């Protein structure tokens, strides 16, 4: 395992990022930790906590997943995908909003669900599951508002300036939505063991995580037709994250959480995306060999 940790660290360094990783065999309990208890910015990874809360509420009858909600074009959270990119009024079920939130990282869908459930409920869920280092500070609209405020009059162009990046509240775990890699693999393990919700709702959560469309991070490390990947990404300036579960045809199930901060401020850094898959593969192969 020590060799694997060194290889993970070397991969992070080569990609030009700082990285934090935790991987665990869901059934055997063996694990690999690379600064796994370090507090990290979750960004959209926190939508996983919201998704679990949604299904817990549905399981106990506090809401119906078929319940309809409407969103006007002038009341949407910024984002390039899903409802946020649509031009006309949208009406859909809570369950379909959850799909968009996970599959295409729809910020508006996430905030509509938060309007229905509330941040306090999300934090109650994570506390109840023993995720003591995981906390939702604000909605996704509020998170993006802090970035606009902190960037100042320079707008998005200012986000290329390292001095501007350094003052963003959204990149400080003490002032934004946060967790640790270990907490996230604990949550994933609970979902895969039907402990976060009952079996039916846990299966629904797993299905949605398997529908995420982005293949350039975690999935890039496992280019095999018979290996299934289910996960949730998260991105902010200099931040690239993904948490997920890798399932092998022999029944092996591995929860992995990788969080990174890039040294460079460019929005496009393929090496920083790819290292998430690379380090996950190193960790999973070590777990399978142990």
Domain enclosing residue 254, as ranges: 2-289
**Tell me: the pLDDT tens digits for 188-202?**
999 999 999 999 999
Of the given ranges (74-83, 176-185, 194-203), which has the lowest mean pLDDT?
A: 74-83
What is residue 169's predicted lDDT score, i.e. its pLDDT?
97
Residue 77, pLDDT > 90, answer yes
Q: Is the pLDDT of residue 167 over 80?
A: yes
Kindly indicate the confidence band of residue 181, based on its pLDDT and cuts at 50, 70 and 90: very high
Look at residue 218 in the predicted model and tell me its pLDDT.
98
DSSP state of 177: S
Indicate the SS3 state at residue 2.
helix
Phi, psi of 3 (to 5 degrees): -60, -40
pLDDT at 282: 98
What's the pLDDT band for 20 if we cut at 50, 70, 90?
A: very high
What b/e sequence results for 40-57 when a residue is b if at least 16 CB atoms lie within 10 Å of its CB, and e otherwise?
Answer: bbbbbbbbbbbbbbbbbb
- Inter-CA distances, 45 with 51, 86, 142, 211, Å: 10, 23, 16, 15
pLDDT per residue as tens digits for the range 262-278 = 999 999 999 999 999 99
Looking up residue 148, the CATH number of its domain turns out to be 3.40.710.10
Closest among 128, 116, 127, 121 to 92, alpha carbons compared: 116
Query: Distances in Å between the alpha carbon of 245 and those of 24, 43, 69, 79, 249?
Result: 10, 19, 31, 26, 13
2 has pLDDT over 80? no
Nearest CA among 106, 115, 129 for reference residue 52: 129
In total, how many domains does the chain have?
Answer: 1
Q: Kindly state the helix (H) or strand (E) to which residue 181 belongs, with its residue range.
A: helix 181-192
Q: What angle do CA 119, 44, 186 make, to 5 degrees?
A: 80
DSSP line for 20-50: EEEEEETTT--EEEESTTS-EE-GGGGHHHH
Average pLDDT over residues 178-185: 98
SS3 label, residue 250: coil
Question: How do strand 239-247 and strand 228-236 relate by DSSP bridges?
Answer: antiparallel
Per-residue pLDDT of 216-242, as tens digits, reads 999 999 999 999 999 999 999 999 999
Instruction: Please check whether residue 97 is in contact with residue 112, taking contact to mean a CB–CB distance below 8 angstroms.
Output: yes
Q: How confident is the model at residue 156 (pLDDT cuts 50, 70, 90)?
A: confident
So what's the pLDDT on residue 154? 85
What local confidence, expressed as pLDDT, does residue 155 receive?
84
Residue with tokens 């022999």: 250
What's the mean per-residue pLDDT of the chain? Answer: 96
Query: How large a percentage of the chain has pLDDT more than 90?
Result: 95
Identify the pLDDT of residue 250.
97
pLDDT at position 69, please? 93
Of 265, 263, 262, 258, residue with least CA distance to 281 = 258
Mean per-residue pLDDT for 198-216?
97
CB 218 within 8 A of CB 238: no
Q: Is the dihedral of CA 94, 76, 139, 218 positive or negative?
A: positive
Nearest to 12 by CA among 274, 205, 243: 274
pLDDT digits (tens, 9 = 90+) for 44-61: 999 999 999 999 999 999
Q: Which of 12, 29, 124 lies closest to 21, judged by CA?
A: 12
């Amino acid at each position: 395992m020590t060799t694997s940790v060194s290889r993970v660290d070397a991969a992070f360094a080569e990609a030009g990022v700082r990285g934090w990783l935790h991987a665990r065999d869901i059934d055997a309990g063996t694990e690999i930790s690379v600064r796994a208890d370090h507090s990290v910015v979750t960004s959209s990874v926190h939508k996983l906590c919201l998704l679990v809360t949604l299904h817990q509420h549905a399981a106990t009858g506090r809401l119906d997943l078929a319940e309809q909600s409407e969103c006007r074009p002038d009341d949407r959270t910024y984002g390039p995908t899903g409802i946020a990119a649509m031009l006309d009024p949208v009406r859909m079920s809570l369950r379909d909003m959850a799909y968009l939130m996970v599959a295409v990282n729809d910020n508006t869908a996430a905030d509509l669900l938060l309007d229905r459930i509330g941040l306090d409920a999300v934090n109650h869920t994570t506390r109840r599951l023993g995720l003591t280092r995981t906390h939702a500070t604000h909605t996704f609209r509020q998170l993006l508002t802090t970035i606009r405020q902190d960037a100042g009059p320079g707008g998005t162009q200012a986000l290329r300036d390292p001095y501007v990046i350094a003052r963003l509240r959204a990149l400080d775990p003490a002032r934004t939505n946060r967790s640790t890699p270990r907490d996230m693999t604990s949550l994933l393990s609970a979902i895969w063991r039907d402990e976060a919700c009952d079996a039916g709702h846990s299966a629904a959560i797993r299905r949605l995580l398997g529908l995420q469309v982005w293949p350039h991070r975690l999935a890039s490390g496992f280019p095999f037709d018979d290996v299934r990947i289910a996960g949730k990404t998260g991105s902010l300036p200099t931040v690239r994250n993904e948490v997920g579960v890798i399932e092998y045809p022999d029944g092996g199930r591995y929860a992995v959480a990788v969080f990174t901060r890039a040294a460079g401020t460019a929005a496009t850094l393929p090496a920083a995306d790819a290292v998430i898959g690379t380090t996950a593969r190193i960790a999973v192969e070590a777990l399978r060999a142990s």
